[in-house]
Amino acid sequence: MPNYSGPEGLELNSSEPLKAREILSRWGLSEGSIAAVVDGTRIDLAAVVKSDSLVEPVLSSSPEGLEILRHSTSHLMAQAVQRLFPGTRLGIGPSIQDGFYYDMEIAGQITEEDLPRIEEEMRKISSEDIPVERLLLPREEALDLFSERDAVYKVELVSEIPDELISLYRQGDFVDLCRGPHVISTSQLKHFKLLSLAGAYWRGDEKNIMLTRIYGTAFDTAEALDDHINRIEEAKRRDHRKLGRELDLFSIQEEGPGFPFFHPKGMVIINRLVDFWRAEHSRRGYAEIRTPLILDQDLWIRSGHWDHYRENMYFTEIDERPFAVKPMNCPGGILVYKSRIRSYREFPMRIAELGTVHRHERSGVLHGLMRVRSFTQDDAHLYVTPEQIKQEIIGIMDLVRFIYRDVFGFSYRVELSTRPEKAMGDPVMWEKAEKALQEALEDFGTDFRVNPGDGAFYGPKIDFHLEDCIGRTWQCGTIQLDFQMPEKFDMTYIGPDGNEHRPVMLHRTVFGSLERFMGILIEHYAGSFPFWLAPVQVRIVPVKEDHIPYAAEVESRLKEIGLRVEKDIRDEKLGKKIRDAQVEKIPFMVVLGAREVENGTLSVRERSEGDLGTMDLSGFEELIRRQPDPVSGRRSTCTC
């Protein structure tokens, strides 16, 4: 008699093998289940479970359940498109964070105006309650099936799968190549929304055909879907590309795709971030360096970047010698370290660099400031003894917490990424490095999760993922523990015993990229930057032309105390000037009329609080001095 075990010691005997949904139903665990986990593997609820198995439910509301739900909805969408656009050829349709997409060669023209029609067809298929079945076909039968359907992309994929049996899923007349698991009926797919269209090269290769990618999302409840759609609308309102244009911060030009142009107001933000970065690093014992943008190709061969990162690099030739534009700052920093003999008395050595790097990103992934080809990393490389590793990592995590949480008001989560498939060095050294990072995280009291196989090619790493005001996450800071580079570059220091020893190298960033961090801040604050970061801090608005001389006096006085001030002397009505200052999200507005000119006072408005009343100039200066400014040590807080 087959025996099944479940959570909390539940046991079930049956006279015959059962399907996963039947087992969960007999235990009273079927409600809300979308799939099952059997002995650690996710399966369809319709799958038959062998005896002596541990069976657990996968709830549709769980991250794993939502992934299945969204993957199934991508199939639903593909079926709808093929019904509406006969002859459409399907590429791939995975679930992604917060949604799904499907790449297709669509027969005929399609625009975003067609998305509601596709949604309606999806609802129709859902209402038909079509069973979703898994098929295991021999390779040749699978190839024949897709060949008969002119599914050329599926034929290509099947040809590369090493398995003798190919996993397919069928719902009515729709068949797709997929490992699953999936829902057991289209009727389970109710709460979805199609979001946008984009172009995508087949298999991400620019040499291949451009397919149409349709993005969508799905949730287990209507309320969760509505909340997500509202967040999307809020994200559109905060889009840094839109705000970058409106606030005149930066632009992306056709002459430099992926290479951002920063305008004067954008440079204010960049320079304030740099000022803060330098001040805080100085407080914490870092020294700053600068290394060349272009270095000899042999250096990159020695560092391992030639073997592991060459496809992302740019190259040039100088005096008939091959050179590379640096994609990372590390090798240059190592040359600074090796410029003279080092002593253990210099350790821990904390060396920081705001280094501009260039990486060849495909045009299809470029995205405003978030994904560019040239950016400035706020790098630091720490050279330490083995005994200093843990304490220095804890020191970096304290810096990260201060900047993310205390200064910018972000919450964040932490991931420990371990040895990737293409990794340099001895696995034993990797294990030692991973253990050191884990112990530092535990000693610091930080919750973290392990991200297997996602480390850098030269060492494991800790990644920090920020959460912004509307719940999106962004990977920014990182700490990488590296035993490999010191070996490759024969880096040494003289220890207390007078002998040469090998240092341990820590790579770390906090902003990650100045450009990307600025993009995140634009969206986090929706352009309403805290006072210390605002490109224009005070806008002076004289009511009439004869109030302009007093406005000039106030402007001069405020500039003397270091404020970024503009006066609006346009021939416009007062209401328009006030509205324009509000649209430009300027923190303070000073309105000067006849009464203010006569009394030597200011009528002050604050961006979020509105009218603050009338005050003299010294009172306004005192108000300004109370504004947070982390460059000077006065802590800032999130104002999103």
Catalytic residues: 330, 359, 377, 379, 381, 461, 507
| 43: nearest Cα among 29, 31, 33, 28 | 33
**Helical packing angle, 514-525 and 222-238, nearest 10°:** 120
Would you state the structure tokens that stand for residue 288, as one six-digit string?
Answer: 């700053």
CA-based angle 352:295:368, to the nearest 5? 65
- Determine contact, residues 305/357, Cβ cutoff 8 Å: no
CA-based angle 443:448:449, to the nearest 5? 135
Would you state the structure tokens that stand for residue 515, as one six-digit string?
Answer: 């450009």
Task: Report how far residue 37's alpha carbon sits from residue 41's, in angstroms, rounded to the nearest whole number.
Answer: 5
Task: Report how far residue 85's alpha carbon sits from residue 621's, in angstroms, rounded to the nearest whole number.
Answer: 66
Task: Report how far residue 150's alpha carbon sits from residue 640's, in angstroms, rounded to the nearest whole number.
Answer: 52
State the DSSP H helix or E strand holding residue 500, giving kind and residue range, or none if neither.
strand 500-501
Task: Report how far residue 137's alpha carbon sits from residue 154's, in angstroms, rounded to the nearest whole number.
Answer: 14
Task: Report how far residue 433's alpha carbon sits from residue 437's, in angstroms, rounded to the nearest whole number.
Answer: 6
Task: Report how far residue 386's alpha carbon sits from residue 436's, in angstroms, rounded to the nearest whole number.
Answer: 9
Report the DSSP beta bridge partners of residue 134: 169
- Which SS3 state, helix, strand or coil, does residue 350 take? strand
Task: Report how far residue 81's alpha carbon sits from residue 115's, in angstroms, rounded to the nearest whole number.
Answer: 10
> Residue 412, Cα to own-chain centre: how many angstroms?
12
- Determine contact, residues 48/18, Cβ cutoff 8 Å: yes
Helices (H), 128-203: 139-148, 152-160
Report the DSSP beta bridge partners of residue 540: 567, 590
**Residues whose CB falls within 8 Å of the CB of residue 144, separated by 6 or more in sequence, listed in order:** none
